[in-house]
Amino acid sequence: MYTVAIFNTKLYIAKTSRLIPLIQKTSKTLSFRPFMQTAAKLMGDAKPETFEVFGTEWVDSFSHAHKNGLATGPFLDEQNLRMGDRALIDIEQLLPKEKDGVSKINLLEWAQYAVVQASACGIFGVEHPFLDPKVDQAFWKWQSYLPLHMLNLDITGKGYAARQIVFDAFRKYNKNLPSDVSFIYKERLRSMQEAGIDEDDICKQQATFGTAAFANTVPIMYWTIHELFSRPDLLEEVRKEVIEQAVSGDKESGFKVDVAALKTKCLLTLSVFQETQRLRHVHANIRKVTEDTLLDGKYLLKAGHYVMMPVQPVHTNTSTWAQPLTNSIHIASPKTHQIERQAVLSHGVHRLIFAQRASSPRLRF
């Protein structure tokens, strides 16, 4: 661990996997909670009363509502089914219109659109706000202005105007929730209502849900497709594995893909996905030091400063990952390559609201 001083603020940089479980166990004094409160204000335009609620112990029950909302069972199955049905629509539209024809797309634009439409179907129901191109475009424009909003430097107000379009769409949506809205959305709603947050602020906080739902999935899907199709031999092996292990049926009766088999039987496919996350991930997890804390018996972290855990040093540590980083993806079989849990941080070190559903929907594409 080393320290970087920026004016009067210190950043304690933890760059080894050994320190990560220690930081996790010290969550009361090395806390992510202040950032949830900040996000409620900067992203969700929280009123003072709502901002105060997000700084209380209630945040723990809100996180628990997320966990319950994504628990394995019929509710999650319904959510994933809606997502899968929508994903098929966008995938089938890629098929060439003529025999032996070629369909060309901008991969990033397609991945962004397909992920938003599929994820939104799963979370918000088939008739969701992002069906409106105006709302979809406004969401991504808003996201591009988030760094400026954090610094209060959106001088032209264009980012706030885009955010307002999304807010208005969710105000309309929340007035008459569809019957197929996801359980996690309803759990978030219930938790905020029980906390006494007013309805308009609830609509705005629910509108921020798209950031969590789309932000991780779009880049990982883009890079997984890019890495796979950049390696023709590997692509052929993956296709063969999926056909043999996860596909059933025929042209007459139709084909079916066993999504569970993609994770349990298609080890090569799963490895490509996981290795893409490891090598392409750029996030730096962060915590605020709320009280003076002695970490690992030798690092004194002072209150008011921050702990950062960049993932690249962990994901490229040669003592954990035997082979040096190269241009080719290292495919490791889970049966023979045991990795410490803290050595993989593609979903962050805190409780991730999408951790339980993160792989299945992406592998569906």
Q: Could you write out the three-class secondary structure of 167-214?
A: HHHHHHHHHCCCCCCCHHHHHHHHHHHHCCCCHHHHHHHHHCHHHHHH
Beta-ladder partners of 5: 10
The one-letter amino acid at 170: F
The DSSP line for 280-297 is H---EEEEEE-S-EEETT
Q: Which strand (E) or helix (H) includes residue 321?
A: none
Average pLDDT over residues 281-293: 85
Confidence of residue 358 (pLDDT cuts 50, 70, 90): very low
Q: Is residue 31 within 8 Å of residue 288, measured between CB atoms?
A: yes
Non-local CB neighbours of 145 within 8 Å, separated by 6+ positions: 154, 158, 159, 160, 162, 163
The predicted structure's pLDDT at residue 361? 54
Sign of CA dihedral 32, 37, 38, 40: positive
The predicted structure's pLDDT at residue 357? 44
d(C-alpha 349, C-alpha 311), whole Å? 10
* Higher local confidence (pLDDT), 357 or 258: 258
3-state secondary structure (DSSP) of residue 335: coil
pLDDT in tens, 17-35: 888 889 989 988 998 888 8
**pLDDT at residue 351 above 70?**
no
Look-up of token digits 């540590």: 317
Furthest CA-CA distance within the chain = 69
Average pLDDT over residues 268-285: 84
Confidence of residue 360 (pLDDT cuts 50, 70, 90): low
d(C-alpha 7, C-alpha 19), whole Å? 26
Confidence of residue 337 (pLDDT cuts 50, 70, 90): very low
d(C-alpha 305, C-alpha 361), whole Å? 37
The predicted structure's pLDDT at residue 148? 92
Q: Where is average pLDDT lowest: 156-170, 214-228, 255-269, 274-288?
A: 274-288
Beta-ladder partners of 10: 5
d(C-alpha 86, C-alpha 126), whole Å? 8
Average pLDDT over residues 277-299: 87
Q: Is residue 352 within 8 Å of residue 288, measured between CB atoms?
A: no
Long-range contacts of 310-314 (CB under 8 A, 24+ apart): 310/13, 310/15, 310/284, 310/285, 311/281, 311/282, 311/283, 311/284, 311/285, 311/345, 311/346, 312/281, 312/282, 313/15, 313/16, 314/15, 314/16, 314/17, 314/20, 314/342, 314/343, 314/344, 314/345
The fraction of the chain above a pLDDT of 90, given in percent, is 58
Strand segments (E) across 220-260: 247-250, 254-257
Mean pLDDT of the chain: 86
Confidence of residue 354 (pLDDT cuts 50, 70, 90): very low
Work out the burial of residue 300: count CB atoms within 10 Å of its CB; fewer than 13 is exposed, 13-18 middle, 19 or more buried.
exposed
Computed over its alpha carbons, how large is the radius of gyration of the chain? 22
**Sheet strand arrangement including 9-13:** 2-6, 9-13, 306-310, 284-289, 30-31
The predicted structure's pLDDT at residue 84? 92
Average pLDDT over residues 114-136: 96
- Domains assigned to the chain: 2-128+178-364 (1.10.630.10)
The predicted structure's pLDDT at residue 352? 39
pLDDT in tens, 181-211: 999 999 999 999 999 999 999 999 999 999 9
Q: Which two tokens stand for residue 26?
A: 């010290």
The fraction of the chain above a pLDDT of 70, given in percent, is 87
Beta-ladder partners of 255: 249
Confidence of residue 274 (pLDDT cuts 50, 70, 90): confident
